[in-house]
Structure 1
Amino acid sequence: MYKLKFFVDFEKEEKWLVKMANDGYHLQNASFGYRFQKGEPEAATIKIDFRKFKKKEDFIDYCTMFEDSGWKHLAGTKSSGIQYFKKMNDTVDDEIFSDNHSKAARYKRYASMCFELAISYLPILLVFYLTDIIHFKALINPKELYFTPGLWDKEGVYFWFSFLFETPFALMRGLAWSFIPLAMIFYFFFGYRAKKLYLQKR
């Protein structure tokens, strides 16, 4: 089963994943949404960390350290940042962090990544503007997005056929770039929320 949800608060995300496990849905993957496998209901303990690694060996050592401490790595990659762990037995402590500062620090790392991603889109937005991929004038006059010769002089069926045929292409030309500012807003918002949570929980 696949579910599309977005969290900034890791503790709320942990509680939701625990509830899903209690209902018999066990986390298999978490990448732009969550993929679960249906199974027996389980009173699981799931915790989340945020770590990115440059080397695969460091990521393997990180996962091995948790496994040796009684925590199974459920999802996450060396570059994904968010790492999911499940407690493997009752002899293990319910918390993966040694103190509140370490627990809060994951929000600081997450906020830094979000701000970096938001800023990284600025050069792309500038290139799109300089190469006329972004049509600001079309926001005022959408007719500029239509390239069919004499389109606006046609009448009746001929006009509607040409208009409807080209409209999908016009929308692509006029709106394809809009994912960039939307992504920037998305990452800035998540970064702001994560930074705020860090200040509250440290």
Structure 2
Amino acid sequence: MYKFKFFMDFEKEENWLEQMASSGYHLESTSLGYKFQRREPELATIKIDFRKFKNKEDFIDYCTMFEDSGWKHISGSKGSGMQYFKKINGSGEDEIFSDNHSKAARYKRFADKSFELALSFLPLLLVFYLSDIMNFNAFTNPKELYFTPGLWDKSGTSFWFSFLFETPFALMRGFAWSIIPITVMFYLFFGYQSNKLYFQNVGVKK
């Protein structure tokens, strides 16, 4: 079973995954949403960390360290950032972090990565602006985006057929570039919210 949800708060996401496990739906993977496997209901303890790794060896060492402490790595890869762990040792600790500061640090890492990704798109946005790919006139005069000869002189079925046929291409020509600034805004929003949660979790008002 697949479910599509979005969380900014790791603790809320952990609680939701634990509720799913108690209903018999156990997390299997988190690529393109959450993939669950139907099994017996279980009172599971699930924790989330955010870490990216440059090489596979460091990632394996990271997972092994947690498994030695009674936590099974159930989802995530060296480059995914989001790492999901399930407690497998009943006598172990219920938390994967040693203190509140290290627990809050995952929000800081997520915020830093979001800001980094936002900045990485800015040079591309500048190139689009300097090369006139960003056509702001499309907002005030969208007719410029249609290249069909004599389109606006047509009428009836001929007009609507030509108009509807070309509209998807016109939208791509005029507004495809807007995906970049929208992506930048999303990353900035993620970074801001994660940074806010970081300060909340370390007890600093921001």
Into which bin does the TM-score normalised by the smaller protein fall?
A: over 0.9
Q: Secondary structure at the match of 1:26?
A: strand
2:66 alignment partner in structure 1: 66
Q: Secondary structure at the match of 1:132?
A: coil
Q: Secondary structure at the match of 1:27?
A: strand
How far is the alpha carbon of 1:134 from its aligned partner? 2.1
Alignment of 1:51-200 (within 5 A): 51-200=51-200
Name structure 2 gaps, 5 residues minimum: none
1:74, 1:175 → 2: CA distance?
A: 40
Q: Secondary structure at the match of 2:108?
A: helix
Q: Secondary structure at the match of 1:20?
A: helix
Report the more deviating stretch, 192-201 or 168-177.
Answer: 168-177
2:43 alignment partner in structure 1: 43
2:28 alignment partner in structure 1: 28
Report the more deviating stretch, 177-186 or 54-63.
Answer: 177-186
- Counterpart amino acid of residue 138 in structure 2: A
Aligned: 1:3 with 2:17: no
1:194, 1:59 → 2: CA distance?
A: 23
1:90, 1:69 → 2: CA distance?
A: 11
Distance 1:32 1:181, change over 3 A: farther
Per-residue CA deviations over 1:14-60 (Å, capped at 9, x if unaligned) read 00100111111111111342111111111100001111111110000
| RMSD value, Cα | 1.2
How far is the alpha carbon of 1:89 from its aligned partner? 2.3
- Counterpart amino acid of residue 132 in structure 2: D
Q: Secondary structure at the match of 1:47?
A: strand
How many pairs does the alignment contain? 202
Question: Percent identical across equivalent pairs?
Answer: 73
- Counterpart amino acid of residue 163 in structure 1: F
How far is the alpha carbon of 1:129 from its aligned partner? 2.4
1:179, 1:29 → 2: CA distance?
A: 27
Q: Secondary structure at the match of 1:78?
A: coil
1:130, 1:36 → 2: CA distance?
A: 46
- Counterpart amino acid of residue 19 in structure 1: Q
Per-residue CA deviations over 1:106-143 (Å, capped at 9, x if unaligned) read 11111000111111111122222233332211111000
Q: Secondary structure at the match of 1:176?
A: helix
Q: Secondary structure at the match of 2:40?
A: coil
1:168, 1:99 → 2: CA distance?
A: 53
Name structure 1 gaps, 5 residues minimum: none
1:12 alignment partner in structure 2: 12
How far is the alpha carbon of 1:175 from its aligned partner? 2.2
How far is the alpha carbon of 1:149 from its aligned partner? 1.1
- Counterpart amino acid of residue 194 in structure 1: S
2:129, 2:136 → 1: CA distance?
A: 9
1:146, 1:130 → 2: CA distance?
A: 23
1:77, 1:115 → 2: CA distance?
A: 21
- Counterpart amino acid of residue 197 in structure 1: L
2:21, 2:115 → 1: CA distance?
A: 32
How far is the alpha carbon of 1:151 from its aligned partner? 1.0
